[in-house]
Structure 1
Amino acid sequence: MSLSATLPAAPPVTNGIYVDDEKLDRIQSKVLDFTQYPHDVATLGDINIAPYSATVGATVHGLRIRPDSDVAPAVRDFLYRGLLRHGFLSFEPGTVDAQSFERLVSLFGQVKLLNTPYTPGSGKTGQLNAIDSSIKRTRMNYIWHIDQSFQNVQPPFTSLFAQEVPGTGGDTVFSNATAAYDLLDPALAAYFESLTAVHDVETQGFLTLAYHDLAQRAGQREKYPSIEVPLIRTHPETGRKQIFANELYTQRILGVTRRTSQALLDVLFDAISAPEVQARHRWTDGVALIWDNRTVQHRGVPDFGGKRRVLHRALVL
Structure 2
Amino acid sequence: MSLNVQRVNPLLGARVSGIDLREVDDATLAQIEAALVAHKVLFFEDQHWSAEQQKAFAERFGELHVHPVYEADPSVRELVVFAYGENKRGANDTWHADVTFAERPSKLGILYAEEIPKVGGDTLWVDTEAAYRALAEPVKALFDGLNAVHDIRHARSPTAQPQVDAQAQLDRVLPPPVLHPVIRTHPVSGNKSIYVNRAFTSHIAELSWVESEHLLALLLQHLQVPEFQMRWAWKPHTVAIWDNRSTQHLAVADYFPARRRVRRAAVLEEVRPV
Q: 2:186 aligns with which of 235, 239, 245?
A: 235
Looking at structure 2, the residues matched to 283 and 89 of structure 1 have their Cα atoms a distance apart, in angstroms, of 13
Q: Which whole-Å CA distance do the structure 2 matches of 1:314 and 1:110 have between them?
A: 10
Matched, 1:128 2:84: no
Is residue 136 of structure 2 the alignment partner of residue 185 of structure 1? yes
2:140 match: secondary structure:
helix
Q: What is the match of residue 205 of structure 2?
A: 254
User: Is residue 164 from structure 1 mapped to residue 120 from structure 2 by the alignment?
Assistant: no
Q: Given residue 82 of structure 1, which amino acid in structure 2 is its aligned partner?
A: A
Determine which of 29, 35, 49 is the counterpart of 1:97.
Answer: 49
Corresponding pairs, count: 265
| Paired amino acid for 1:232 | I
Aligned residue identity for 2:21 = I
Alpha-carbon distance change, 162 to 154 in structure 1, aligned in 2, over 3 angstroms: same
- Give the conservation status (yes or no) of the 8 Å contact 1:201–1:249: yes
- Find the structure with the greater CA-based Rg: 1
Give the ranges of 4+ consecutive aligned residues of structure 1 lying more than 6 Å apart after TM superposition.
none
Give the CA deviation at 1:251.
1.0
Letter in 1 for 2:10: A
1:238-272 C-alpha deviation (Å, 9 max, x unpaired): 11101011111111123433232222112211221
Deviations 1:187-230 (A, max 9, x none): 2111111322222222232699486623421213xx42222322
> Would the aligned equivalents of 1:208 and 1:217 in 2 still touch at CA under 8 Å?
no
Which residue matches 1:53? 9
Aligned match for 1:79, one of 18, 32, 41 = 32
Deviations 1:261-316 (A, max 9, x none): 22211221122111111111111100011111111111111110100100011111
RMSD: 2.4
- Structure 2 portions without partners, runs of 5+: 269-274
Match for 1:98: what amino acid? Answer: S
- Of 219, 225, 228, the match for 2:172: 219
Which secondary structure does the structure 1 equivalent of 2:153 belong to?
coil
Aligned to 1:22: none
Which structure has more relative contact order (CA 8 Å, sep 6+)? It is 2
Q: Is the 8 A contact 2:149 2:177 kept in 1?
A: yes
* 2:272 alignment counterpart: none
User: Contact between 1:145 and 1:298, CA under 8 Å: does it hold in 2?
Assistant: yes
Task: Classify 1:55/1:183 alpha carbon distance in 2 versus 1 (closer, same or farther; 3 Å).
Answer: same
Alpha-carbon distance in 2 for matches of 1:249, 1:131: 18
121 and 81 in structure 1: CA distance in 2 versus 1, 3 angstrom threshold: same
> 1:107-165 CA distances to partner (integer Å, 9 max, x unpaired)?
4234444352xx42223545323211149858652111111112221021111101101
1:270 aligns to 2:221 (yes or no): yes
What residue in structure 2 maps to residue 28 of structure 1? none
User: TM-score when scaled to structure 2?
Assistant: 0.87
Deviations 1:164-194 (A, max 9, x none): 0101111111011111101100121111113
Identity of aligned residues (%): 30
TM-score (norm 1): 0.76
In structure 1, the residue matched to 2:59 is 106
